[in-house]
């Protein structure tokens, strides 16, 4: 609750309940749920967003059921194909390359360069 007695929607995490259920069904010791909060996104998802969400979710379920561990994302080493990327390939510690084309394009489009 906030100072006015309203439920704080940004603290609700319904995905956690689903994650626990799926973890039991696929016999997983660890489960991580990422959620977008109110401050992370202030616009409704468009068709492209929704398509990506459903494709990612479908792939995540397929990978989990086949015993694959990783993160669903566009794999830069595999021609940006949406796939399950092994955790060992995405561990932290490497700096972000600010010179990549897509990032430079975005900076230009939003007037930062």
Please report which helix (H) or strand (E) contains residue 62, including its range. Answer: helix 47-65
Q: Determine what percent of the chain is predicted with pLDDT higher than 90.
A: 44
Mean pLDDT on 2-28: 76
The strand pairing partners of 83, in sequence order, are 73
Asked if 53 contacts 36 with a C-beta cutoff of 8 angstroms, the reply is no
In the numeric block, which tokens belong to residue 82?
Answer: 């949406």
Is 60 exceeded by the pLDDT of residue 42?
Answer: no
Q: Where do we find the tokens 């202030």?
A: 42
Q: Are 20 and 33 contacting, i.e. CB atoms less than 8 angstroms apart?
A: no
Residue 11, pLDDT > 90, answer: no
If one compares 74 and 18, the residue with the highest pLDDT of the two is 74
Residues 64-112 pLDDT 10s:
999 999 999 999 899 999 999 998 888 777 788 899 999 999 999 999 8
Full-model pTM: 0.52
Residue 36, pLDDT > 80, answer: no
- Per domain, the residue ranges of the chain are 1-42, 45-113
Q: Is there a contact between 107 and 99 (Cβ–Cβ < 8 Å)?
A: no
What per-residue confidence (pLDDT) applies to 86? 93
What is the rounded distance in angstroms from the CA atom of residue 26 to the CA atom of residue 77? 28
Angle at 72 between CA 69 and CA 74, to 5 degrees: 135
């Amino acid at each position: 609750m906030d100072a006015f007695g309203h439920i704080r929607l940004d603290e609700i995490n319904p995905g956690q309940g689903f994650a626990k259920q799926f973890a039991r069904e696929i016999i997983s010791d660890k489960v991580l749920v990422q959620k977008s909060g109110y401050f992370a996104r202030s616009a409704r998802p468009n068709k492209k967003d929704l398509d990506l969400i459903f494709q990612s979710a479908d792939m995540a379920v397929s990978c989990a059921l086949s015993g694959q561990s990783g993160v669903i994302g566009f794999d830069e080493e595999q021609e940006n194909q949406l796939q399950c990327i092994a955790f060992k390939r995405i561990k932290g510690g490497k700096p972000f390359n600010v010179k990549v084309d897509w990032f430079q394009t975005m900076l230009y489009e939003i007037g930062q360069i």
